[in-house]
């Protein structure tokens, strides 16, 4: 038996990277999955984003574990689309117990002919998208009255902030990831009376396509403050599964009294 038997987890950005890893890890613990991803390119992002093929691979991986998964394309920037995705998932899976707001972009190093537009695009995905995700998903959770757990995926940049260079991408990324902590704290206060716990996870660099691509590699190589991006422990990056293990613990009964917490999984990045 798994720690999440009988639960349904709603995961955004689930087509690849951390989102796929979270879906697989929670499915291993017995959860059924509602998985969404944009599966399209955003104009301000220069690195290749996830595709429908990627999302299909997530579906196959979850089904191989004997769990049910509902997967669809949806844009976290669109509240109506999030409501529709939630409705589709609830209709087939029976409800939502867990929310993992994981979708995000990190377009540092992408061309910025319009810096304000770049800033807005990052905020819309990484911050407004998280608000949309939680607000759409929490309605059936409240109606069911069974409590639940919500994890918002932030970043080390949501606790520290480093490497600012005046770009819309970097300032937007850091501001959005700090903003996610503010959302977590307000949601945790609001939802505690309904036994719904809300926490953030703050990874250092993780080996995902969002981090390991030519655009990000060139950006990192050109940074004057590259030393500020290193970890205290002697590892350059973490595996997606390292973050998923923390997520799986936070949404399990083992963490039943943990709420309002910003949890670093950062190899000591913030301690340096």
- pLDDT confidence band for 227 (50 / 70 / 90): very low
Residues 81-121 have pLDDT tens digits of 999 999 999 999 999 999 999 999 999 989 999 999 999 99
- pLDDT confidence band for 230 (50 / 70 / 90): confident
Q: CA 42 from chain center: how many Å?
A: 17
Tell me what pLDDT residue 164 has.
66
- Residue from 204, 207, 156 nearest 180 by CA: 156
Is residue 257 part of the annotated active site? The answer reads no
N- to C-terminal Cα separation, the chain: 40
Q: pTM for the whole thing?
A: 0.96
Share of the chain above pLDDT 70, in %: 96
Strand order in the sheet with 196-203: 69-73, 32-37, 8-12, 98-101, 148-153, 196-203, 262-265
Contact by Cβ (8 Å): 136, 86: yes
Tell me what pLDDT residue 223 has.
64
Instruction: Write the secondary structure of 184-232 as one string of H (helix), E (strand) and C (coil).
Output: HHHHHHHHHHHCEEEEEEEECCECCCCCCCHHHHHHHHHCCCHHHHCCC
CATH no., domain 8-263: 3.40.50.720
Helix (H, G, I), strand (E, B) or coil at 95: coil
Query: Which member of 47, 79, 173, 257 is catalytic?
Result: 173
Residues 16-39 have pLDDT tens digits of 999 999 999 999 999 999 999 999
Residues 235-264 have pLDDT tens digits of 999 999 999 999 999 999 999 999 999 999
Tell me what pLDDT residue 165 has.
74
Section 1-20 average pLDDT: 97
Boundaries of every domain in the chain: 8-263
DSSP state at residue 260: S
């Amino acid at each position: 038996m798994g720690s999440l038997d009988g639960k349904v987890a709603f995961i955004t950005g689930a087509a690849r990277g951390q989102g796929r890893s979270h879906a697989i890890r929670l499915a291993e613990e017995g959860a059924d999955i509602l998985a969404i991803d944009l599966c399209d390119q955003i104009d301000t992002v220069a690195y290749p984003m996830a595709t429908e093929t990627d999302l299909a691979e997530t579906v196959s991986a979850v089904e191989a574990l004997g769990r049910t998964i509902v997967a669809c394309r949806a844009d976290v920037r669109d509240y109506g689309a999030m409501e529709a995705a939630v409705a589709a998932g609830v209709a087939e899976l029976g409800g939502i117990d867990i929310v993992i707001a994981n979708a995000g972009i990190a377009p540092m190093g992408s061309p910025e002919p319009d810096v304000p537009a770049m800033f807005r695009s990052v905020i819309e995905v990484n911050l407004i998208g998280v608000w949309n995700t939680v607000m759409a998903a929490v309605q059936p959770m409240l109606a069911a009255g069974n409590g639940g757990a919500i994890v918002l995926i932030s970043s080390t940049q949501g606790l520290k902030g480093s490497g600012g260079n005046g770009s819309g991408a970097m300032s937007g990324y850091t501001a959005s990831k700090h903003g996610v902590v503010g959302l977590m704290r307000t949601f945790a206060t609001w939802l505690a009376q309904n036994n719904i716990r809300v926490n953030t996870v703050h990874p250092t660099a993780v080996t995902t396509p969002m981090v390991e691509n030519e655009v990000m590699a060139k950006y990192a190589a050109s940074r004057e403050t590259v030393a500020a991006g290193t970890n205290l422990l002697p590892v350059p990056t973490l595996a997606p599964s390292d973050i998923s293990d923390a997520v799986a613990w936070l949404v399990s009964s083992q963490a039943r009294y943990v709420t309002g917490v910003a949890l670093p999984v950062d190899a000591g990045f913030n301690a340096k």
